[in-house]
Each structure stands twice: as structure tokens, then as C-alpha cells.
Amino acid sequence: MKTPGEYATLLKSMKREWLWLWHYMLRYRLGILVYIVIGLAGTAMSLGTGLAAKFLIDAVVSHNSGVLIKSAVLAVSLSLLSIAVSAASQRIASIVSTRIASEVRAEIYDHIITARWEDVCKFHSGELLNRLEGDVSTVSGYIISFIPNAVTRLTMFVGCLAIVLYYDVTMAAIALISAPFLLLLSRFSAKMIRKYSLQSREINGRVLSYSEESIQNLQTIKAFDLTDRYSAQLRTLLSEHRRLRLAHDRFSLTLSACMSVIGLIVGNLCYAWSVFRLWTGRISLGTMTLFLQITGYLSSSFSALVSLAPTAITAATAAGRIMEITELPREDDTLCEAAGAVLAAARTSGIAVEAHGVRYTYHDANTPVLDGVSFCASPGETVALVGPSGEGKTTILRMLLGLISPNEGTILLRAGDAEVSASAAARRLCAYVPQSSAMFSGTVAENLRIAAPTASDADLERALRDADAWEFLSTLPDGIHTRMGERGYNFSEGQLQRLSIARALLCRAPLLILDEATSALDTATESRVLAGIMRTDFPRTCILTTHRPAILACCDKVYRVEDGHVRTAEAAQPQEP
Ligand SMILES: Nc1ncnc2c1ncn2[C@@H]1O[C@H](COP(=O)(O)OP(=O)(O)OP(=O)(O)O)[C@@H](O)[C@H]1O
Ligand SMILES: [Mg+2]
């Protein structure tokens, strides 16, 4: 049982979710309007067909051939038109809903890639995909159909009620006898539907995350001979998924059975009442037929109106899950102008990096990983960060890249008189080689051009030579046009590292950031790669992390990162890197 406070919070969040949906409905108002007009036309046809059938039967009974022919033509034409209108309405709904789905999906994707990195990392990528696909489909269907359904059902309801009231008030009262029961049922079902839709989206996310992660790590699963265990675990998850689906299904079936029983009772009451009225000669046979048809419409449109509430709740639940993503704080890109000025100045004077009193704690950690860290790199210098594993070297590089921001202190990138804080906007000053190489599907050339879209084949060759990747690549039949499998699985780790280095060199950024970029290379290859990296025709500052002592000979400064502090290697001696 929920407390009143919990109910208030629930209502408040549902209100926010509906407002979010409303904002999208306003945006697609034209499509929705067309859908409404077509829906209303369909409703008018159905009611008209009912009336035409009444006149037809009355004409048959009274042997009035003139009315008979007109009514028959009208009934057939309206029926045919109804079919056309229903097809048009379905077509419009799918055109608009697919457009909404793709636009909303693109927007959510933009939110994911522009939100602050650390906040996005709180979600499993499978869960993000689940929201991007499942929740977006739910809301886009709802955005297009909710208002048109509400308007057409309401019109149908009011139209039917008006016709029945016109001919027989008692009949209208009998037809609406089900209303209080349906309202009670919907009130009960609303809560259950919110619960089931939340549970079902959550378990979907878990299945998706599990499958995605295990497929990504297939090599490890096979190497540890874990295929049976992983299959069994997926089956456990799927059986939970199935159990939930069946529970949901049982609930829906029970609900619709209850509604059908109510509908049957009301239908039979209406039938009995119209037979009685016909028997007593108060209505004609045509009116009785009309009653039977219209009372059916009346109760079905009322149930459809009632079922709009659970639909709205399912959509609001999905909207809430999407809003958790859209409301993630965005990266700060207000420093674009300052970054541009630094970039322009750095082309001639090079770039300096100055960190002062930097303190940083990851959101899920209790102690700071960096506690009052200061270091600097002058223009053109190569600076190494060394130290034991897990002490914060990559964390410092993430700060330089503006992926995370210091809780205290500053990191400035300076060129001449211009300066900018390390931030999302300042990333254009950096070229980056990650600790584990990140390649995308496509050819080698396409992967390299991610960093420099206008680079010529000659530029690619130069960068590949500097990264000592040209030799192995030129022996492949397709050379730089060789296709890379997912994450470059068809290349060795050392080859991928060299391709990553070539990509970073190609973008000619004034600050080169290398995170253990040569860790998979043999010593001879590493020396050639380092020589290539140092061979630069413009002032480039390089900050790298390494566990390899051989690299330190090429560095102007060495800092040791340990216990949350950064000290110059001399100060930190006699320890090894
Ligand atoms: N995204 C994250 N969220 C929470 N904690 C993190 C995150 N990334 C790293 N850490 C923690 O921060 C500490 C420093 O990690 P970091 O990756 O900076 O170490 P490192 O010095 O680069 O280590 P290595 O030499 O092994 O690469 C570690 O204790 C790690 O567990
Ligand atoms: Mg690291």
C-alpha cells in the first residue's frame, strides 16, 4: 500500500511525464489533426451506416421500393467509404508515428551523446538501447493516437447516445448501466498496468543488457568455457521475463473477460428491451436493428474511452524512463570561443597545460582519486604520468579531455595570451589514443578519417608511417581500404594501437594525449612508433601515461601519480615507474 505522500509524488511525476508527452503532441499537431478528421469521418460513416440500415429494413417491412433502393445504395456506399477511411486512418497513423519514433529516437540519441560522460556511464548500454527502442516506440504510438482516439471515441459515444435518446430514453439508460462497473475496473487496472509496464520494461532492459554484454565478451566466455553457464543464466532471465509476460497476459485476459461479461449482460438487456418495445408496437423493426447496432457502439466506445486511462499510464511510464535520459545534465560547451582562440594561437606558439590543486572523487566512490594535484606541461614538451595501476593516471587524462571536471582546482590549456579550461569545448585542442583501442566498423581509411575527414590518402600514409602501421597495412590486399570487423577484431592489439596512434596524429591537434598507447608493442616497434610521434612539423605538447620505462627517455618531464597526489619523478624516487 502506498502512503498519501507516495501517491502525491507518483501523481507529481505522472503530471511531469504527461506534460512531456503533451509537448510532443503540440509539435505533431498537424498530423494529429488530420488523424482526428479522418477518425471523425469514420465515426460519421459508422453511424450513417446504422441509420441507413434502419431505413432499409423499415422500407422492406413497409414494401416502399423507392426508400429501399436509396437506403440500400446509401448503406453500401457508406460501408465502402468506411473501409477506405479506416485504411487511410491506419496509413496516416503509421506515417506520423514512424516519423515521431525516428525523430524522438534521434533526439534521445543526441541527449545520450551530449550528456555528461559520467552521468551517462551510470546506465548500462543495454538499458540505454532498451529505452531508445522500446520506450520510444511506446511513446510515439501514444503521441499520435491518444488525442484522436479520445476525440473519435467521445464523438461516437455522444453520437450514439444522442440517437438512442432521440428514439428511447430507457434504452439509453440500459445501455449505460455498465458505466460505473467499467470505471471501477479501470481504476483498479490503472495501478496494475503501471506496475506491469514498469516491471516489463525493466526486465527487457536486463535481458538486452545481458545479451549485449555477453556477445561483446564472447571470446572471454568461450575462453573460460562458460557458454553453458551463460546460456543457463540467459534462460533464467528469459523465464522471469516469460513469467511476467504471462502474469500480465492473465491480468489483461481477466480484465477483458470482465468487460465482455458486462458487455454481454448489457447487450442482452438492450436486446430484451427492444424486443419488448417491438412486441408492444412502440418501435419499428428498423429502429430495433438500429438500437442493437448503436447500443453495441455505445458500450464499445465507452469501454474504449475508459481504457484510454491505462494506455496513458503505460505511455507516461515510458516517458518517465526517457526523461531520465533527456534530463541528464549536458556537457558545458560555452567555452567554444575561448577554445577557438587557444587553437589559433597554439598553431604558432604551441600549447601549455597547467593543473592547480585538482581534487576529484568519482560519483560512486567515497574517497577522492585525486587530492590537490598540480602539474604542468610547457609548449612542445612530452610529459609522462607514471605510477601504480589504479592510482588516477587515466582519470587525469579524462579531465584533460573534459570528460569529467575537477570538484576543486583548475586545469588550464594556454597558448600565448589565450587560455581555456579543460572542457568539452576544449576537446578540439586534443588528439587522444585511449588505453584500449576504439575502432568502428568500416575500413581502416574510414576509421582514420573520423579524426580528419578531409585528409588525403597521402596524409593517411604519412600518419600510418609515423605510427609504424604502414608496413603491415600495405601488405594487405586492400591496404588502407581493408575492412575492420566490429571493434577491429580482425587486427592484433598492437596493430590496433598503431592505427589508433595514426588516427590521433592525423588530426594535428596541438595536444596529444596517449593513454598507455604502446603497451601492446614489442620494444623495437615501440621505439619506431615513439620516434614517429616525436617527428612533428608543428609545436605539439604530448601527455602520456605509461608503465614502460623505455618511454621515459623520450620525455621532458615525468610525474608520478600515487595516493591521490602527483609528484615529479625525482621527488618520488627511488620508486620505479
Ligand atoms: N568511471 C569510474 N567510476 C568510478 N571509479 C572509477 C572510474 N574509473 C576509474 N575509477 C577508479 O579510479 C581509480 C583510478 O583509476 P584510473 O583508471 O585513473 O587508474 P590508472 O592510474 O589509469 O590505472 P591503470 O594504470 O591501471 O590504467 C581506480 O581506483 C578506479 O577504480
Ligand atoms: Mg589507466
Among residues of the chain, what percentage have pLDDT more than 70?
Answer: 98
For residue 443, pLDDT beyond 90: yes
- Would the CB of 362 count as within 6 Å of ligand 1? yes
pLDDT tens figures, 232-291: 999 999 999 999 989 988 988 888 788 778 877 887 888 888 889 889 988 888 888 888
Q: What is the C-alpha separation between 100 and 110, in angstroms, rounded?
A: 15
pLDDT tens figures, 531-546: 888 888 888 999 999 9
Q: Which of 331, 505, 314 is nearest to 404 (CA)?
A: 331
Distance 565 CA to ligand 1 centre (A): 14
Q: What is the C-alpha separation between 517 and 432, in angstroms, rounded?
A: 9
For residue 47, pLDDT beyond 90: no
202-206, 385-389, 534-538 — which is least confidently predicted?
A: 534-538
109-123, 182-196, 523-537 — which is least confidently predicted?
A: 182-196
pLDDT tens figures, 70-109: 888 988 898 888 888 888 888 888 888 888 889 999 999 9
Confidence band for 570, pLDDT divided at 50, 70 and 90: low
Confidence band for 571, pLDDT divided at 50, 70 and 90: low
pLDDT tens figures, 455-497: 999 999 999 999 999 999 999 999 999 999 888 888 999 999 9
Amino acid in position 456: S
- pLDDT score, position 2: 59
- pLDDT score, position 249: 86
Which residue, by CA, sits nearest to atom 7 of ligand 1?
A: 362
- pLDDT score, position 575: 46
Distance 197 CA to ligand 2 centre (A): 40
Q: Which of 164, 36, 47, 54 is nearest to 93 (CA)?
A: 36
Locus of grid cell 474511452? 305
Distance 434 CA to ligand 2 centre (A): 9
Locus of grid cell 588550464? 412
Distance 390 CA to ligand 1 centre (A): 5
- pLDDT score, position 39: 86
For a mutational test of ligand 1's pocket, the pick from 116, 393, 551, i.e. the residue with the most ligand atoms closer than 8 A to its C-beta, is 393
- Would the CB of 369 count as within 6 Å of ligand 1? yes
Distance 393 CA to ligand 1 centre (A): 8
C-alpha cell, 399? 579531465
Which residue, by CA, sits nearest to atom 6 of ligand 1?
A: 362
- Would the CB of 392 count as within 6 Å of ligand 1? yes
Which residue, by CA, sits nearest to atom 14 of ligand 1?
A: 392
**pLDDT: is 270 or 342 the higher one?**
342
480-486-491-493 Cα dihedral, nearest 10 degrees: 120
Q: Which ligand 1 atom is at minimum distance from the Cα of 547?
A: 25
- pLDDT score, position 574: 44
Three-class DSSP category at 171: helix
For residue 177, pLDDT beyond 70: yes
- Would the CB of 365 count as within 6 Å of ligand 1? yes
- Would the CB of 391 count as within 6 Å of ligand 1? yes
- pLDDT score, position 46: 85
- pLDDT score, position 173: 85
The distance from CA 294 to its chain's CA centroid, rounded to whole angstroms, is 44
Which residue, by CA, sits nearest to atom 11 of ligand 1?
A: 390
- Would the CB of 50 count as within 6 Å of ligand 1? no
Task: Give all domains of the chain, ordered by start, each with its CATH number.
Answer: 4-326 (1.20.1560.10), 336-572 (3.40.50.300)
Mean pLDDT, residues 373-396 taken together: 94
Q: Which ligand 1 atom is at minimum distance from the Cα of 392?
A: 18
- Cα Rg for the chain, rounded, in angstroms? 34
- Would the CB of 121 count as within 6 Å of ligand 1? yes
Mean pLDDT, residues 537-562 taken together: 89
Q: How many helices (H) and strands (E) does the chain have?
A: 21, 12
> First CA to last CA across the chain, in angstroms?
59
Q: Please name the residues in contact with 323: beta carbons below 8 A apart, sequence gap of 6 or more.
A: 16, 17, 20
Q: Read off φ and ψ for residue 160, nearest 5 degrees.
A: -65, -45
For residue 576, pLDDT beyond 80: no
56-60, 185-189, 205-209 — which is least confidently predicted?
A: 185-189
- Would the CB of 350 count as within 6 Å of ligand 1? no
Which residue, by CA, sits nearest to atom 16 of ligand 1?
A: 392
Three-class DSSP category at 83: helix
- pLDDT score, position 65: 85
Confidence band for 518, pLDDT divided at 50, 70 and 90: confident
- Would the CB of 395 count as within 6 Å of ligand 1? yes
For a mutational test of ligand 1's pocket, the pick from 118, 385, 386, 391, i.e. the residue with the most ligand atoms closer than 8 A to its C-beta, is 391
Mean pLDDT, residues 61-70 taken together: 86
Q: What is the C-alpha separation between 284 and 289, in angstroms, rounded?
A: 9
For a mutational test of ligand 1's pocket, the pick from 362, 398, 559, i.e. the residue with the most ligand atoms closer than 8 A to its C-beta, is 362
Which residue, by CA, sits nearest to atom 26 of ligand 1?
A: 389
Mean pLDDT, residues 148-175 taken together: 86
CB atoms within 10 A of CB 131: 23
For residue 577, pLDDT beyond 50: no
C-alpha cell, 99? 516519423
